Amino acid sequence: MRKLLLLLSIAAAASAFGDSPIFTSRATLPSLNGEQIYAHICQGCHMPGGQGAVGAGYYPKLAADKNFVSWQFVASTVLKGRNGMPPFGYPSNQDINSGPAHLTDAQIADVVNYVRSHFGNTYKAQVTAQQVAALPHPAAETIGPQ
């Protein structure tokens, strides 16, 4: 019954992000692919199309970023965060409502492959979950919100 309700609510919510569920949950987050992760999470800051944004500080434009030549740079940034960007490589036992979001190594590989092959980036090499797993991950535990 619960499963059915969950499926119904996901179906009702699907719209602007194409066929992906609008609100991730413990149950649905692990099923998102690289493109969906970009649409649900990354574009909040890096903007649709990877345009980036400028205010008192800036969010880097993902197109033609020379750092993208290194998949390790991109994967490590997603895993550990950078300059205020939250880490996504924490262990999976985090509270989805308040703690940082957790992506699996396979998802991180997928989102790395997505951003390195879109927005004008044309890196062909496919990163694997095993390659991501070999990079340093952040330790568990962080402080919740107020």
The smaller minimum CB distance to other proteins, of residues 56 and 125, is found at 56
What is the per-residue binding string for other proteins in 62-101, x denoting contact by CB under 8 A? -------------------xxxxxxx-------xxxxxxx
* Span interacting with other proteins, options 1-9, 63-71, 116-124, 128-136, rule CB under 8 A: 1-9
Q: Work out whether 30 is an interface residue with other proteins (CB under 8 A).
A: no
Q: Work out whether 18 is an interface residue with other proteins (CB under 8 A).
A: no
At residue 34's C-alpha, the angle toward residues 57 and 59, to 5°, is: 5
Mutual orientation of helices 105-116 and 71-80 as an angle, nearest 10°?
A: 130
Tell me which of 8, 9, 14, 126 binds other proteins, using CB under 8 A: 9
Residues 35-64 contacting other proteins, CB under 8 A: 39-45, 47, 51, 53-59
Alpha carbon of 121 to those of 94, 134, 138: distances in Å?
Answer: 32, 24, 27
Alpha carbon of 30 to those of 34, 60, 70, 119, 137: distances in Å?
Answer: 11, 26, 25, 24, 18
Chain centroid offset of residue 130 CA: 17
At 64, the amino acid letter reads: A
The two three-digit tokens of residue 80, written as one number = 């550990």
Q: Work out whether 5 is an interface residue with other proteins (CB under 8 A).
A: yes
- For residues 28 and 103, what is the distance between their CA atoms, to the nearest angstrom? 11
Taking the complex as a whole, the smallest distance from the CB of residue 46 to other proteins amounts, in Å, to 10
Size of the site for other proteins (CB under 8 A): 46
Where do contacts with other proteins occur on this chain (CB under 8 A)? 2, 5, 9, 16, 22-24, 29, 39-45, 47, 51, 53-59, 81-87, 95-101, 138-139, 141-146
